[in-house]
Structure 1
Amino acid sequence: MNTTPSRYLLPGTTTSINDLPKVSLHDHLDGGLRPATMIELADSIGLDLPTTDAAELGTWFAKQADSGSLVDYLKTFEFTTGVMQTREGLTRVARDFVEDLAADGVIYGEVRWAPEQHLARGLTLDEAVEAVQEGIEAGIESVAGEGSHIRIGQLITAMRHADRGLEVAELAVRHRGNGVVGFDIAGAELGFPARNQRAAFDYLAQEFLPVTVHAGEADGLDSIRGALFDGRALRLGHGVRLAEDVTIERVDGENTFVTLGPVAQWVRDREIALELSPSSNLQTGAISAWGDEMIDHPFDLLYQLGFRVTVNTDNRLMSKTTLTRELALLTDAFGYDADDLEVFQLNAAAACFLPLEDREALTDAIIAGFAQA
């Protein structure tokens, strides 16, 4: 197992956020590596890293990612994907990933990653998916040996700036019986609209495989429209800039009127989940229109207006974070209590890409876990 994560208590209580049952919907495999594992894997394939000290390497990633630009943020992945080009590398990283989620109290997680970025050393797309699934299953077994339980699903991602969307969509459908639960597109958002991958989305709709789309992070409402219309997205990856479609008017300094634009109204009324990632949204400048501190994040606005908000890490290595830490940061910023944190987990359980019966069982587990806290 990895080192014990930092402990966080709900303010004024003895309740540990770490121990509360959690659901993770937006967590990238190549953004959650342990620095020590990276160093070990890099040495085995002769890849040079910025440093071979694990603590220094973790700090380097967090510093480089804290740029205010999604494009610069994404450059850090050159090193993480670099050590994930072999079956052994993918399997090891996936196993670590599962163990680290379980150590953080996650009982269900969806791990997203782009197989097309892991073929440099001869793996096929199918072999890459199989390697990750092998690691996931090893991680689940390891966690069970420690007396815990976790379930993991793969989200197969296509890179939006590439031209392999349909091929990757077909890959996802081929492996839907082997751990894959859904599809995603990621990468540079601005200039690469969802409509470029329309053939993939049409195919996925025909095959009834659920879709989430990165949108509303580095681009605004047009990107979200494309995710909903072209992608038929059931969830929005980040989606934070949906707040641009919310108008707040204060009258006489007392009364406040809020108007939702058509996109925001659609998303709220149909309970399309927002995969919000607070620390990442600060790092990439996704919330720059509102400010540059956690208190400026429109998370609470969206929550209070009834949107299906969920809390996520995006890339734990780059943000030097955990799901527990993200919940703690929001609690400190907005004064949330256990009831609020439970709502966020129930929202995620309702939005996860599992059959209805499994979502209901997950909901029951969350309710029971919070009741015991």
Structure 2
Amino acid sequence: MVSVLALGLAAMPGSINVALAASFDCTKAGTPFERAICNNEELSAADDRLAATYETAVGGLSEIARGDVRTGQREWLSYAQRACTRDAKPMVSGEYDERGLTCLVDLFNGRSTVLEQSRMIGGLRFYPMARYEALPDPNEAGNPDSWSPVARHELSWVQLDADEGFAHAFNDIIRDEARLSSPVLSDGIGPDAEDDGSSSDTNNSFAVEGVAGTGRISVKANTYWYGHGAAHGNWGITYRHYLTEQGRFMEARDLFSGDGWEAALLDLAVKAAKAEHGDALMLDDTSSIADVVIAPERWDLPDSYALVIQFQPYEISAYAYGAPQARVRWSDLEPYMVEGSESIRFGF
């Protein structure tokens, strides 16, 4: 088996036996981390998947992009050896308990999902960048039964592997947007902050949703925050539509104009939500979502027949119902569409 250990640790001097770095031989597994991969069937399968996914992810990339992914893999491996322990340090003895093994499986599969963003979409080659951090939770230090002894923070975003001018601009704006979503991983938390990230988990990703012609790249942002000890986490879905010619994210004025378009869209969105979600809808005061429905970050654009408006958990329904959407037909919006809006929708 060629393990993720061999792929990630080969360039980390002193981190693993040289023989192991060439091909992960389970008869020579010495650390708790290595033994866990060899002895747990589910984790071993996740390791196999990750090794194959990594090899596919770096194939065909430029040398710079390949180096970025390799660096990210080494950083992830360092994180993985710390994130599932009880003190955010690599285990040097003993074995992982059930919580630790479950944590490792989640981390390995999560990393594979990130690497699967390395692909061709619409004639463009994208690849993932990521940052990771594991912090000991001081509030859980004295609890040997805690399921959240370590705060885990993960952030990933896509980049374009191309030399065109718009590629550099896209990479810069997506990187900056991603970092804004994660203060812990962007050095955005100061010493006086109420929450330094040590008692919560975050997992934010910015992945390509679609490419429309040569004019638009749509990115889907998934955010997740869990405060240790809470009944459940909070999550959300938003979008960023990058216009390659303009060099910026799409704004509402790129699609709509004229007096009353905001009120019209709100009215149509409410009607669509009622039709689609029926009794699951919890919306007594429609003014509470007035700003939501007119925000481009809530618009998903792949549907040729309708503008898809994304709501978050709790906004118009119960948390257990998830993040509902409402589809407003483009034909109903025609009176408010600006000239040239089709070029935004279809990317030509």
The two structures have a TM-score, normalised by structure 2, of 0.25
Structure with higher RCO (Cα < 8 A, 6+ apart)? 1
Between Structure 1 and Structure 2, the one with more helix by share is: 1
Please tell me whether Structure 1 or Structure 2 has the larger radius of gyration of its CA atoms.
2
Q: Which has the higher strand share?
A: 2
